[in-house]
Amino acid sequence: MACRDHLTGCYNRYSLERFFQQHTKEEGIILFLDLDGFKQINDKLGHETGDFVLKEVSLRIEEVIRKSTLSGAVFRLGGDEFVVNLIGRVSKERIEDIATALILSLSSWDFHTNNFSLSSSIGIVSYAKEEQSLTELLKKADNALYRAKSSGKNTYQYF
């Protein structure tokens, strides 16, 4: 359990560092996801509901990645932040297909009937062999995520 998030079962931040170190000799993609509107769920419906949503989010992200048939893993950094690290060369078209599938999967909720809108914004950064540190890549992906949120949320942006 030291490598897994206790709530969602996703790999945790520590595991992300180890995973990245093991695969830095390869190219890859990092998708940094953050939920739009999650704070309202916790504030208005309670943390039990928020925990349920986070568990469901992790399952949905893992399902999209599994269907993509690409090699990689899903990590929960904390709160409502998730990272997907895909290994290998991935075409821009394929990345956009995955990002779109994630956005669609994470924007279909029953909460809309309760005046809640829950969706996801994604920041995307690609990396080449041994080019950058994980910390640098996460900063870049976070910057792209911030631009996605600033441009109206429920979308993705590249660094």
Do 119 and 86 touch, CB atoms closer than 8 A? no
Three-state secondary structure call for residue 3: coil
Q: How far is Cα 64 from Cα 100, in angstroms, rounded to an integer?
A: 10
**Residues facing 73 on adjacent strands:** 85
Q: Report how far apart, in Å, the C-alpha atoms of 33 and of each of 2, 58, 121, 125, 136 are.
A: 22, 11, 6, 12, 16
Q: Is 80 a residue of the active site? A: yes
Catalytic one of 34, 36, 80, 142: 80
Q: In the 8-state DSSP scheme, what is residue 111? A: G
Q: In the 8-state DSSP scheme, what is residue 41? A: I
Active site residues: 80
